[in-house]
Amino acid sequence: MKFYYFGLMPYGPLDLDYDKKYSSASLVLPNSYFNPKEGNKLYRRYLDELELADALGYDGVCVNEHHQTAYGLMPSPGVIAGALARTTTQAKIAVLGRALPLVNNPLTIAEEYAMIDNISGGRLISGFVRGIGVEYHATGVNPAFSLERFQEAHDLIIEAWTKTGPFPFEGDHYHFEYVNTWPRPFQQPHPPVWIPSQGSEETIRWASEPTRKYVYLNTYSPFEAVSTFFQMYRDIAEKEWNYEASGEQLGWAVPIYVGETDEIALKEAKPHIEAFYNKFLRMTNEMLLPPGYTTLKSMKKIAEAKREMLSGGREISRLMDNRMFICGSPNTVQEILGECHDQVGLEHIVCTLQFGTLPHELTVKNLELFSKEVMPQLR
């Protein structure tokens, strides 16, 4: 198994009572809640933690893109990835990922990724995502065309990396007379592609297609759902594409906390993981799922259930039961991850070792304990 360190870079000093006045820490939460002095300290701290992960021997360090929110301060992940390309030495640099449909010129993403790949000497993992629903409110991009734009922007970027330019690209959403990307990526024919997603059959079919065979990275789902989606990947690969999918094509992003004992881990992690799921990720269904972002069928199901998907009220014990959070002594965490590996045969674990309000000292302890007492046994 391979281990990648990831944190969303949340605005830790957030006043957690914000939800008495606002329905979400995204889109509608005034940016007066952000204090730039804290921002300066936070970015430096989070970079230190990513660099520490490289020094501790993690296989990769990860960043991602979110807009107009307190739960992730990387609207432009290339800034962080660019810094890491110079200050880290061995870890892969995974951008998980850039939100393709949200831009009107995806070539800027082909260029940015190629720069990071060149500076880092070929350590880039290029993640492509659709962006979460609320970002279609934040950018004005029409969610009804999200999937079409995603697939077309992807085709454009791959062509820009692999075909000799200049050439025209003639799409429905993107049309360029001259595609001739400088620099070309360091890794040939192009950097590995990962598709982070909550999971849908359409996405999995597309990612597993034989010319792609991309890594499907499930993010923050209950393990039962993760396991279902991984099986779906294997089944589609076998039945529709006639090949056997390997564990190298499967990844799982999950928050993890390791303490000296189960009790210590639980006590230290509780307020921070609950803040992450209940306060930072909180949003209304209308923000999370704008019309057209998902299929009609799943929109109807959600309307029928009348359930707010991310309205909070999640307890640490419930999060641990369905493995949306893994927490305990090194032994416990190692056993759980070993079990998950044996059950579904996944090879990539994106360990969210900083979440919500978890402070620097505990993040460092978590990073160290995980790398020294969990990782070696599972490699």
Cα radius of gyration rounded to whole Å, the chain:
20
Smallest CA-to-CA distance from 131 within 81, 176, 75 is with 75
């993981």: which residue's tokens?
Answer: 273
Identified binder of other proteins from the candidate list 290, 328, 330, 356, rule CB under 8 A: 290
Task: Give min distance, CB of 151 to other proteins, in A.
Answer: 15
Question: Whose Cβ is closer to other proteins: residue 291's or residue 376's?
Answer: 291
Cα 305 to Cα 218: distance, rounded to the nearest angstrom:
23
CB of 303 to other proteins, least distance (A): 5
Q: Which of 51, 286, 335, 373 binds other proteins (CB under 8 A)?
A: 286
CB of 102 to other proteins, least distance (A): 12
Q: Which residue in the set 20, 140, 170, 239 belongs to the binding site for other proteins (CB under 8 A)?
A: 140
Binds other proteins by CB under 8 A, chosen from 284, 311, 331, 332:
284
**Binding to other proteins (CB under 8 A): which residues in 164-203?**
none
Number of amino acids touching other proteins (CB under 8 A): 20
Give the shortest CB-146-to-other proteins separation in angstroms. Answer: 10
Judged by CB under 8 A, the stretch of 51-59, 249-257, 298-306, 371-379 that binds other proteins is 298-306
Task: Kindly give, in sequence order, each residue whose CB lies less than 8 Å from that of residue 258, ignoring residues fewer than 6 positions away.
Answer: 265, 327, 328, 329, 330, 333, 366, 369, 370, 373, 374
Structure tokens at 239: 């039945």
Q: Which is nearer to other proteins, 48 or 286 (CB)?
A: 286
Q: Which tokens in the block code for residue 251? A: 């990844």
Residue 299 touching other proteins (CB under 8 A): yes
- Contact assessment for residue 196 and residue 253, using Cβ atoms and an 8 Å cutoff: yes
Residues 6+ apart with CB under 8 A from 176: 107, 156, 168, 169
Closest separation in Å from C-beta 130 to other proteins? 15
Q: Measured between alpha carbons, how far is 330 from 369 in angstroms, rounded to an integer? A: 7
317: its two tokens: 């014990």
User: Which is nearest to 337 in space by CA: 346, 196, 50?
Assistant: 346
CB within 8 Å of 146: residues ≥ 6 apart = 101, 130, 131, 136, 292, 293
The single residue among 137, 270, 341, 360 that binds other proteins, judged by CB under 8 A, is 137
CB of 294 to other proteins, least distance (A): 10
**In angstroms, what is the minimal distance from the CB of 322 to other proteins?**
26
Q: How far apart are the first and last CA of the chain?
A: 5
Region from 77-85, 221-229, 235-243, 288-296 binding other proteins, contact rule CB under 8 A: 288-296
Q: Report whether 110 contacts 156 (CB < 8 A).
A: yes
Give the interface segment with other proteins, choosing from 34-42, 236-244, 294-302, 349-357 (CB under 8 A). 294-302
Mask of contacts with other proteins, 301-330, x by CB under 8 A? --xx--------------------------
Q: Is 30 in the site for other proteins (CB under 8 A)?
A: no
Q: Which of 63, 12, 3, 54 is nearest to 275 (CA)?
A: 12
* Site for other proteins, rule CB under 8 A: 136-137, 140-145, 284-287, 290-292, 296, 299-300, 303-304
